[in-house]
Amino acid sequence: MRIDRITASVIRYPLPRPLRPSWAPGREFGSTTCTLLEVTTDDGVVGYGAAPDTGQIGLATISDMVAPYALGKDPFQVEEISPILRNAARDGSYPWGFETALWDIIGKAAGMPAYRLWGAHKRRIRAYASLAELTSVEEQVERLSALKALGFTAAKLRLRRPSIREDIAFVEGVRSAVGDSMELMVDANQAHVMPSPGPHNFWRFEDALAVARAMQDLGVVWLEEPLHRYDYGGLARLCDAVDIPIAGGELNLGLHEYKLLIDRGCYDIIQADCAFSEGVFQLRKVAALAELAYKRFIPHTWSNGVGLAANLQLAAATPNCDWFEFPIDPPAWTPAARDFMLDRPFEVDADGYIAVGDAPGMGMEFDREAVAPYVVATWDSREAAS
Ligand SMILES: [Mg+2]
């Protein structure tokens, strides 16, 4: 079997309402953008992958840095192709969706979902609703009650208000309204912010420590990204100083950064993402390092439906993964908008668990017709060669 054709398409899909995520202060998103990858073999097997919102950079990464060296290769030779992606990641942007497409092909050829080929651990995982926007307590409580009605038993709230005093008062308000009826995580998103108007200020160690102590008292499940991504010393100090688990690592890059984070004790929970961090099978090596260090590996999943599907396969084959991030924050970020490229959106069941699909490959059915109206640019290796 050989890789015969690669296409990459930038897709811009309008959101039902503008999204104002905490990680892009002052910016409003009217649409969600991704680069969808379609890899076809000479046997006619098609694998799908996706890169996050990087527009033309994502397209050029595939056309100029991945396709010239991956075309003609056996798609089963994932370890042979991985260095091509790593090299592309240095000069380009997030090529990891290509490995997702390879495993989609391998699973389809084998007639099995990838997680079962990797050694399955579970068929369903407890999901937490991962919210995006900074709201008032009243608005948050309303959103949580709607999520509870959908089956969710846990939710991750955002912290990034002008002061930590306001962030702590917000979580206190939410906790006193919902009591023990929902588990709460919090994400401070202090590792970086997306390109946005700002403000671009970050917490100091003393801020992170004060918030961690307050969250611990409020029975919060974990505190995520309380310090800058590369503040290895501060993160390790914080983990040592508090009992509440510290989570992070969603946008660290490559296996060696994760080894360093684990070796230095920067996080209790490692949150790599196969759309942003490394290829989906390569991240199994990070999950294994975490397992050996008695740490949890719970992937970050905030990109799009294909990224969520691939991270779900990874999570289902990972013994030290006990939660699954489910990005949802209606009315702007709905499962239908997140998963518009799939035949149906992922949902949670009445107990708040997400089931791992039995469909071969990445456990998803891709809907080309649904995507077609939203394609803004395409690169096709076959057209480029003619
Ligand atoms: Mg996060």
Cα of 192 vs centre of ligand 1, distance in Å, is 10
Same domain (yes/no): 271, 139: yes
How many domains in the chain?
Answer: 2
- The Cβ of residue 298 has, within 10 Å, a number of other Cβ atoms equal to 29
* Same-domain check for residues 140 and 59: no
325/256 same-domain check: yes
Same domain, 38 and 145: no
* pTM passes above 0.75: yes
Ligand 1 centroid to residue 56 C-alpha, Å: 25
Q: 263-269 contacts: CB < 8 A, separation 24 or more?
A: 263/293, 264/232, 264/235, 264/236, 265/236, 265/239, 265/240, 266/232, 266/235, 266/236, 266/239, 267/235, 267/239, 267/295, 268/222, 268/239, 268/295, 268/296, 269/222, 269/245, 269/295, 269/296, 269/297, 269/298
Look up the CATH number of the domain holding residue 224: 3.20.20.120
- 95 and 125 inside one domain: no
- If asked whether residues 44 and 179 sit together in one domain, one would say no
Q: State the Cα–Cα distance between residues 152 and 353, nearest whole angstrom.
A: 8
Q: What is the pLDDT of residues 278-333, one digit of tens each?
A: 999 999 999 999 999 999 999 999 999 999 999 999 999 999 999 999 999 999 99
Q: 212 C-alpha to center of ligand 1: Å?
A: 16
| Residue 357 clears pLDDT 90, i.e. is over it | no
Q: Which domain holds residue 303?
A: 116-355
- Report whether pLDDT(150) > 90: yes
Quick: pLDDT tens for 305-314: 999 999 999 9
- Distance from residue 189's CA to the centre of ligand 1 (Å): 6
CA of 69 to the centre of ligand 1 (A): 33
Task: Say which CATH number the domain at 53 has.
Answer: 3.30.390.10
Same domain as 108, residue 44: yes
Statement to judge: residues 127 and 81 lie in one domain: no
Query: How far, in Å, is the centroid of ligand 1 from the Cα of 85?
Result: 24
pLDDT (0 to 100) of residue 329: 98
Tell me: do 291 and 243 sit in the same domain: yes
The first and second tokens of residue 240, run together, are 């040592």
Residues 182, 234: one domain?
Answer: yes
- Do residue 219 and residue 164 come from a single domain? yes
Domain co-membership, 268 together with 373: no
